[in-house]
A = this chain, B = another copy of it.
């Protein structure tokens, strides 16, 4: 079977770079178009001497006609708001899209405008229908809809780790819907490749700090999906922390058990059943806790469960690579499904340790 042709738009940012790397040697997808705004017109090897691409292509302006002529599928790795300008013309031209931004993660455009208010001012939008149509690309829970989708909103990195832990627990009613706390830790690559003072090595190393305490944008994204899983409205606490490392994301998720008699082994069994057909998600034995290093540069998610019978708390540890399973790798999973391939096709699952 011929490979599907993929356009990567926003190629020199971290999302684009990861996507390009993951697609090298992919058995069913090939990169046929490199798009970028600032880097348009430049030869790839000058921009990125460390990642040689076949034919050393020139980066092109992201023109919808040119993309449609060259590609069946497109991955957009663009700033929030900007993606919504490119998605409609691409869909009209028959190009299926995986969007790595937040633009189509909310089924309600109004909610997006509320949460991403500054972007909404800069990029006026009226594509409610596309918001409603877009499939939220949490692969392990949307496999069938993704296979048929034209437009996929790849989940944020924090929502991915959090929802892999919470979705099966909420669907089965194992924890209370109130009082959930997600304390998350992530490397600095989550802030992107654009230079910012607080992400300098001199500033970010040798320290750990919280940010976006109460009200971080991913809170509403997590709540939307948790509410769907539970069948009732959920409000929870989400606190991200910046860790002095490049990649990796750990969500430490706290919830109160409905049945305090359940053990960690019981919950582990439930999670393993939920993910038994998911080759990218593993549930560790009770007492083995994941390091994000164990999943670095892979598309694997590692979960581990512990229970405190004294307090009735359930704790789930969820570790991913924020730029692979938390972004570009999950995007490739979506592409795979849209191309009729198994979701995990061509994706690395084993780390180079240490």
Question: Chain B contacts of A308 at CB under 8 A?
Answer: 214-215, 237
Most buried by B among A207, A211, A215, A256: A207
Q: How far is the CA of A20 from the CA of B104 in the complex (A)?
A: 41
- In the complex, A350 has a CB within 8 A of chain B: yes
Question: Chain B contacts of A295 at CB under 8 A?
Answer: 50
Top 5 nearest A-B pairs (CB, nearest first) are A207-B293, A50-B294, A209-B291, A195-B195, A183-B183
- In the complex, A254 has a CB within 8 A of chain B: yes
Q: How far is the CA of A285 from the CA of B50 in the complex (A)?
A: 12
Q: Contact check, B207 vs A200: say whether CB atoms are below 8 A apart.
A: no
Contact digits for A226-238, partner B, Cβ 8 Å, 1 yes 0 no: 0000000001110
The verdict on A207 contacting B296 (CB below 8 Å), with A200-B195, A289-B213 known, is: yes
Q: How far is the CA of A187 from the CA of B189 in the complex (A)?
A: 20
Q: Contact check, B195 vs A197: say whether CB atoms are below 8 A apart.
A: yes
Question: Chain B contacts of A291 at CB under 8 A?
Answer: 50, 207-209
- In the complex, A101 has a CB within 8 A of chain B: no
Q: How far is the CA of A326 from the CA of B203 in the complex (A)?
A: 19
- Please choose the segment from A131-139, A243-251, A270-278 that sits at the chain B interface, where 4 or more of its residues have CB less than 8 A away: A243-251
Question: Chain B contacts of A353 at CB under 8 A?
Answer: 17, 21, 50-51
Total copies of this chain within the assembly:
4
A residues adjacent to B (C-beta < 8 A): 14, 17-18, 21, 24, 49-52, 178-179, 181, 183, 185, 187-189, 191, 193-197, 199-211, 213-215, 235-237, 239, 241, 243-248, 250, 252, 254, 256, 282, 284-285, 288-297, 306-308, 310-311, 313, 315, 317, 319, 350-354
What's the nearest-Cβ distance from chain B to residue A257, in Å? Answer: 12
The verdict on A244 contacting B247 (CB below 8 Å), with A209-B290, A209-B291 known, is: no
Q: Contact check, A193 vs B201: say whether CB atoms are below 8 A apart.
A: no
Q: How far is the CA of A109 from the CA of B246 in the complex (A)?
A: 43
- Sample 24 A-B pairs with CB under 8 A, ordered by A number: A14-B354, A21-B351, A50-B291, A51-B350, A183-B254, A185-B243, A188-B202, A193-B202, A195-B199, A201-B244, A205-B245, A206-B206, A209-B290, A209-B291, A211-B289, A213-B317, A214-B308, A215-B308, A237-B311, A239-B252, A239-B315, A247-B354, A254-B254, A297-B297
